[in-house]
Amino acid sequence: MGIDPRSLERLRQLGRSLPQPLPAPAPPTPAPASSRGRATEPRHKLETETDPDELFRDLMQASADGTVPPHLVERLRQLEADRRAARATPAAQPPQAAASAPAPRRGSGLGRPDPKLAAAHGDLYTAFQQLLLEEEELD
């Protein structure tokens, strides 16, 4: 099958009027660190909270069914351990207060719940008590 002369002439005209080739694209620039992979800066209150009580409250409010991702539970444990370590240092307590204070029992770190808070946030206390019971069963 051949090309008729009229089509051949039209192809030659188009060949002369085609634009110049496009320049080669520039190499991609590296993306900023904030848009790649994991975030380098915490963005949510759950990631920035340093008070274990507030973090727990925020975790319970953020979770509809009381489940918390393991990395956030570990973060809460670490904050509580840091708080206990800060309270246990001898420089933090006066000598006479350290001598008169009774030795803390295992599991008594929470103290008595405030009745006003318990009434206002009963569901949070229930969920937390359930988590504590489950953790004790695992130990």
**pLDDT 10s digits, 70-115:** 888 888 899 999 888 888 876 545 555 445 555 555 544 455 666 6
Residues 26 and 32: their CA atoms lie apart, in Å, by 17
Residues 63 and 125: their CA atoms lie apart, in Å, by 14
Per residue in 8-50, pLDDT (tens digit) is: 888 888 776 766 777 788 888 776 655 555 666 667 787 888 8
With CA atoms as reference, report the closest residue to 76 among 15, 29, 128, 111: 128
Question: pTM score, two decimals?
Answer: 0.38
